[in-house]
Amino acid sequence: MQKKRIQNKISESRWTTSFVLPISFLVWTLAAYRNIAVILPTVCMLLSTFLMMRLNHNNGLIRIYSRMVSCSFLVLATLDATRFTSLSQAIVMLGGVGFFTSAFMAYQKSVSPGYIFYAFLCVGISSIIWTQVIFFLPILWIIMSANLLAMSGRNFVASILGLLAPYWFLLIYLGITNNLKWFVAHFNKLLEFTQPFNFSAIPIHQALSLGFIILCSIIGIVHYLRQRRNDSIRTRLFCQAFINGDIAAIVFLLLQPQHANYIQSILIVCTAPLLGHFCALTKTRFTNWIFCTLGISCIIITLYNIWIF
């Protein structure tokens, strides 16, 4: 019988979520005590966590009993306390989880306009907050076609309608308030570019958090590529969808690093399932060492960010 290491005991325990969730919520509560602006982002974080739990439960992302997907999401979302006051970043993160939760329901359903509409409705709402989400549309359509096997004429039209739906209501509001110029200025942001690979504007604390999340994504991707033969075709396609999202986010970060705050939200959403998959389904001494190192590093970075909050 193979020996259970610390990594496996934590990953397979029924008490892991019961421990991680209160600790994460305590960190957010302490931040809210110091700054009341943290309250609404906390609500978004809790909703995102609930949807991530649903995403894992409905789609069986891990073939054994484990809650590491939602726990990984909580840990990564709590990593950088300096982001807690940003409602816009929290909404983008919630929109990302909402997209995958709804879109995965359309797996192999070429006629599922409802699920696709709501998935892209989340993208549309996020694009009102952060216009550059629109640049990710080609990747999302590739995911819809190659990973979800759900591309069809009806579903494509549903994705367009879902994307535009929030703007219909926004246009009505802007018309009533006589502020249609905002609409033009909003899309003009798509034409704003800065020098690629210029990371000077990213503070050290955020660079640490981003570096840690990207490292976790790389570990998750390498693990998936080595072990994908052990998963069902459905799970492989879903993991590939998260990998596509991670790669797109990292490339966008390299090309336009001024959007690092929002890219971090997308990276958290796409990395958490891959990291959870790695933590739950590896059993070697080396991966146990990686797990412990990541855990200690995460605690140190979190405490550092709380200290400077």
Each residue's pLDDT tens digit, 16-64: 989 999 999 999 999 999 999 999 999 999 999 999 999 999 998 998 8
Which distant-in-sequence residues (6+ apart) come within 8 Å of 121 by Cβ?
Answer: 162, 163, 165, 166
CA distance 54 to 282: 23
Domain ranges of the chain: 6-308
194 pLDDT band (50/70/90 cuts)? confident
CA distance 123 to 158: 13
CA distance 150 to 147: 8
3-state secondary structure string, 86-123?
Answer: CHHHHHHHHHHHHHHHHHHHHCCCCCCHHHHHHHHHHH
Which distant-in-sequence residues (6+ apart) come within 8 Å of 294 by Cβ?
Answer: 215, 216, 219
Note the pLDDT tens digit of each residue in 197-239: 988 889 999 999 999 999 999 999 999 999 888 889 999 999 9
Per-residue confidence (pLDDT) for residue 272, from 0 to 100 = 97
Per-residue confidence (pLDDT) for residue 217, from 0 to 100 = 98
Counting residues of the chain whose pLDDT is more than 70, the rounded percentage is 99
> Do 61 and 272 form a contact (C-beta atoms < 8 A)?
no
Tokens for 273, please give them: 């399932």
Per-residue confidence (pLDDT) for residue 228, from 0 to 100 = 87
pTM assigned to the model: 0.95
65 pLDDT band (50/70/90 cuts)? confident
Helical (H) or strand (E) element with 235: helix 233-255
Which distant-in-sequence residues (6+ apart) come within 8 Å of 201 by Cβ?
Answer: 257, 258, 260
Per-residue confidence (pLDDT) for residue 60, from 0 to 100 = 87
Note the pLDDT tens digit of each residue in 239-293: 999 999 999 999 999 999 999 999 999 999 999 999 999 999 998 999 999 999 9
> Do 258 and 194 form a contact (C-beta atoms < 8 A)?
yes
